[in-house]
Amino acid sequence: MWYYFFAHCIYHLTRWFPQNNRIKFRVVVLLLSVSLLIPELIVLTLPKTTRACDQPLLDLLVTSTIFLFFSVGFTLLFSLMDPVPRIVKIGFHMYGFGSLILGLLTAVYTFQAAGCEESTTELYYWCLISSYLALICTGYFFLIIPFWLLNTVKPSSVLDWRKRAGLCYEPVACCSCIWHI
């Protein structure tokens, strides 16, 4: 789920910069995205990673690497496109659902793989860190989803900047960067 969260945050961060002055931010986003791939590729190429483990942690690492490549792609699309086409948004949210499933599977298998800590140490710790990140991001989205749904059912009921009204206007009035719908 943290792959989806990363691309989601980059989408909103990109909108803070003027449309004609985003080149430096795009370079930083590209470098940050590539730097996320490096630890996964290092763990994947270690000879110790292929040792036997009673849980499919290596399969989760390979799947996670594929998801991270998609996250990098969405991140770059979001930093280049303004506005983002509806089909890309739909694909991104479908990717988010797949990312949720991958994060939950990673957490379940990792928490059952305490014996793998001895045989495949790096792989186990990578899965453990990924599991915690996925659970934190999942919690964040489950807190935000009711507000998204409420705003879909009754537009501008959660936050309306023009009228200075809405359920969440007062808490975020002084710091608009912490909220988005």
Enter the DSSP assignment of 160.
B
The Cα 131–Cα 134 span in angstroms is 5
Distance between start and end Cα atoms, the chain: 19
Would you state the pLDDT for residue 169?
53
Whether the pLDDT of residue 72 is over 50: the answer is yes
Query: Residue 87's pLDDT is what?
Result: 93
pLDDT at 181 (0 to 100):
41
pLDDT reported for residue 165? 59
**When comparing pLDDT for 16 and 111, which is higher?**
111
β-bridge mates for residue 165, sequence order: 160
CA angle 93, 146, 158 (to 5 degrees): 105
CA 162 to chain centre: 30
Confidence (pLDDT) at 64 = 92
CA distance 110 to 112: 5
Q: Do 181 and 151 form a contact (C-beta atoms < 8 A)?
A: yes
92-105 residue pLDDT tens: 999 999 999 999 99
CA distance 69 to 36: 10
